[in-house]
Structure 1
Amino acid sequence: MQTVIERQIHSGLLFIRLGIAASLFTHAVPRLIDGAQTWRLVGGEMPFSHPDLPAHVVGLVVLVVQSLAGLSLLTGYFFRMGAVLLTLVYSLYFFNFVNVGYKTLPLYAGALACVCIGLLLSGPGRFAVSVKIESK
């Protein structure tokens, strides 16, 4: 039997997971569906990370990673791998925004990278599809 504090911790993790997954889906999936022109714009945001690759390939990879990592946060499958991939993506955004000279966007990207590191360390919690399947 779970205590009230354990239920609150697992509910908080679920709320964070659902919130981040919703923001990832609303950001990545429409851009992924829009096609190569949008992929080129997304890939062009990180010019230092791909000197030899075309921008649309990098954009496609970033959007696919964000979509699949959002799905892993939502369901709990491959949760830690999704958290690692999101940490890498947001770290790339952080360093890109610092190099460009933005003042507030690096704070946002750095905060999301820290949240993903926290999720990596804490795990998916009790409310994950993988926990339900393993308990049967």
Structure 2
Amino acid sequence: MTTSLDVSEKLPKGLVEVYSQIHGIAAELSVPLLIVGATARDIILVHGYNAAIERGTKDVDFGIEVQNWEHYEVLRTALIEAGFTPHSKKAHQLDTTDSAGLPWEIDLIPFGEVSDDHGQIAWPPKQDILMRVLGFDEAYRVD
């Protein structure tokens, strides 16, 4: 069973701008993505069901389905060339501002062929930073 929620005209303008820009670049590169984390929760609960949940940050987590780390880097580089700023210490984070000048933190979390059988990724170059992406593949494939 599929349930659709109408969140038209309910999302913050800045979120729509950021999502549209990232989605457009990812689509040009044929890189599938989905929104995950607290933003995904808010889209469903706050904007879909009018739940009262308060958030303090403007960050958006994107699951990025890639075949390898080079594929991930192609998207990251394209976003930087489009004006996103890489975070100095977090390889997965890019920063941007919307048309109102509000800051947004963008986390690009790769999944797919870069994750192991336990749903974990190890960030290059040293593979010493580990992150769980368990369930990303399944969430992306839900009809």
TM-score by length of 1: 0.27
Q: Higher relative contact order at CA 8 Å, sep ≥6: structure 1 or structure 2? A: 1
Rg larger for: 1
TM-score by length of 2: 0.26
